[in-house]
Amino acid sequence: MPTKSTQASKTKKKEKIEEPVWTYRGYKITSSEFVTAMVHFFRAEVQRANVWRQRLDTTTNWAVVVTGATLSIAFSQAEVHHAIILLNTLLVLWFLFIEARRYRYYELWSYRVRLMETDFYAAMLVPPFHPSPEWAENLAENLLTPSFPISMSEAFGRRLRRNYLWIFLILYASWVAKIWLFPTPANDFQEFIERSAIGPVSGEIMIGIGFVLYLFLGLFAIATVNLTRATGEVLPRFGDESATAAPSEQGKPKGLRALLAPRSRRRQLLALIITNQPDNVSARILTDMKRGVTALSGKGMYTGQERAVLMCALTVTEAHNLKSAVAKEDPQAVVIVSPAQEILGGGFAPLTEK
């Protein structure tokens, strides 16, 4: 006859058994194993972000070093033509383009890190804290189909305002000083214009090109100020209005901001399921996935048999769950999954703007 101590030990053993988070091909992942995997994944994404952050600093260093060397040569030798400063300006502009491209990659890894910081680790540290219901969905989708969270316009404008605007201003002032002071100070503005010429290109044209270039840079820096989809370390937690999230119809930017903002949305799919057991399959989808199902009537033209066709809208991260749900009820079913241009209503983006 079992004693109380034996029963207590059995009860403790039962309490220690953890429910698997999910199963896949015979593997069972417990909650502790899931947390361990997330910790290693977080460390990997932080390392990726750090690597691309170092690449950003490297590109900025290139621009600073090249500018310093160019100005040293230009002002140390009076016979050096002022065109060397213009060539350096074009080179720095190319560095800015490279850095903006690298910044987009940095934001891709930083976006994932920020999601885990705000809605996984913060939720563990502060139990009343409720994570956004879509954070895991966005993280999984970003892993399956990586996409840049910010546009090239925002990346270009942000790096221009942070670092390169000052470099361009120094180059512009140096170019003017080089023309005006070397080889001897200019007597008047007309002489300054004549010295600005480069070969067959007149001074008026060169000054006009410089004015247009710097006007474009200034306007672009101002136009992209309100583009704040970059995650960074100072923005609110995921799910807030200013945090990076999948674009919605309600949060669509307007005007110039809409032109410069990234054109991306959560990948949406449309599934057609041809089955002989429509009731069981639809019930499984409604129960397991909480997705709506619409039944259509169909006919197999080869066999002449009437068959039901189920239509279901879902996101890219739910495709595997849909296949598993259908296979449980009807292994002979035919599942067709295709991308959808846009899905409105029914748990997706709102059909009408408020």
Using a pLDDT cut of 90, give the percent of the chain over it. 40
Asked whether the predicted pLDDT for residue 353 surpasses 80, the reply is no
Domain segments of the chain: what residues?
31-245, 268-340
Beta-sheet pairing, 268-275 with 334-340: antiparallel
Query: What pLDDT score was predicted for residue 251?
Result: 46
pLDDT digits (tens, 9 = 90+) for 102-152: 999 998 888 888 888 877 887 777 666 566 667 777 888 888 888 888 889
- Has residue 243 got a pLDDT over 50? no
Short-list 158, 148, 149, CA closest to 226: 158
Cα dist from 280 to 47, 199, 269, 333, 335, whole Å: 46, 81, 22, 12, 15
CATH class label, 268-340? alpha beta
| Distance (Å) of CA 22 to CA 34, 146, 306 | 9, 23, 36
pLDDT the model gives residue 26: 62
Sheet holding 294-299, edge to edge: 294-299, 306-315, 268-275, 334-340
pLDDT of residue 28: 74
* Per-residue pLDDT at 12: 52
Report the C-alpha gap between 174 and 179 in whole angstroms.
9
Tell me: pLDDT of 244 over 50: no
Tell me the pLDDT band of 237, cut-offs 50, 70 and 90.
very low
Evaluate if residue 304 carries a pLDDT over 60.
yes
Whether the pLDDT of residue 280 is over 60: the answer is yes
Query: Most confidently modeled of 5-9, 127-131, 216-220?
Result: 216-220
